Structures are given as C-alpha cells and as structure tokens.
Amino acid sequence: MNFDTGDNVKLEQTDKESIMKIVAARYFTNQNWKWINLKSEINKIYKAYDELNEQYNAYPYMSRDWYVANSATKNIHMCEKWNELKELMGFLESYAQHFDFMVKNGDEKFFCIISDNSELSSDQKNAIDIARKSQYKIYEFNMQVPDEVAFEISQL
C-alpha cells in the first residue's frame, strides 16, 4: 500500500477552537490556576449550586456561607460566600455562552475568551460590558493556529 507523504490537512474553525482551548487549559494548569471550561462543564457549576441549596434546605442550622466555603465543589464554582455564588449563577445563566473559561488565580477570578484575532461579536462585547459592571475581570487568550497542519503517514 502506498501513502503520500508530506501532505497537509486543512483545519476547520471548530478544530482551531478546540486546539486553542487545549492550549489555554494547559497554560492555566501550568500556572496552578483553578479553571473550568464554560462551554463543556457549566452544568457542573449549576449542579454544585443546586446541591448547596439542597444541603442548606435540609440542614439550615449552618449558614449558606458555611456550605459554600466548605463545599467539596468549591474548585468548580470558585466562590466563598452564598451571595457571591448567587450573583455568579445569575450572570452565568445570562452570559456564560459568550465566554470560554472561568479562571481563579489566587483571589482573582476572571472570565476568559479564546480568540484568534477575529472581531468579537456584538453579543460578546455586551457580555463583556455587563461582566465589567458586575466587577468581573475579562481576559482574552489570543493565539494563532495555522490553517493547515502538515503530517506524514508511514507503515511500520
């Protein structure tokens, strides 16, 4: 069987976005930052919120803040107090689809957009404005992924 060597594969935009998310996640991990991919894992945040609410309703003798600060899901929602988590949930329900990651670096929590220098949509710009008004910081993780990737295939 003969194979062509030195071929290129054209990457689709979804391929490029996946690569950018992998690189961003690796960067956050290498920095020892906590992070969550809002595109694929946001349901974990919603589930953590619901579970904390259920715990409080079942055992209301402890404060909601105590449940949030001591929860096993703290690395997911990255909040210390109930009001902080409640505000985050309201924001995420309306605007999470415009961001790729939520990241925590020490005491600083921010939202991150993955970009390849393309223009942000008007919806993204609006979400960024609202995030800033809500005291959330926004960062852009910008990188270039080539349109084509070279490869070789050989029989072993």
Interacting residues of 80 by C-beta distance below 8 A, sequence separation 6+: 65, 68, 69
Residues facing 114 on adjacent strands: 141
DSSP label at 11? P
Q: Tens digit of pLDDT per residue, the chain (156 long)? A: 555 566 888 999 899 999 999 999 999 999 999 999 999 999 999 999 999 999 999 999 999 999 999 999 999 999 999 999 999 999 999 999 999 999 999 889 999 999 887 788 899 999 999 999 999 999 999 999 988 988 888 788
Domains in the chain: boundaries = 30-151
- Smallest Cα–Cα separation from 49: which of 24, 23, 78? 78
**H or E element in which residue 151 lies:** strand 148-151
Q: What is this structure's pTM?
A: 0.87
- pLDDT (0 to 100) of residue 2: 55
| Structure-block tokens of residue 53 | 């609410």
- pLDDT (0 to 100) of residue 119: 85
Q: Residue 112: what residue type?
A: C
Give the rounded distance of the alpha carbon of 10 from its chain centre: 26
DSSP label at 120? P
**Do the Cβ atoms of 66 and 72 come closer than 8 Å?**
no
Query: How far is the CA of 76 from the CAs of 47, 99, 104, 115, 150, in angstroms?
Result: 10, 16, 10, 23, 37
Can you tell me which residue has the tokens 């902080």?
A: 84
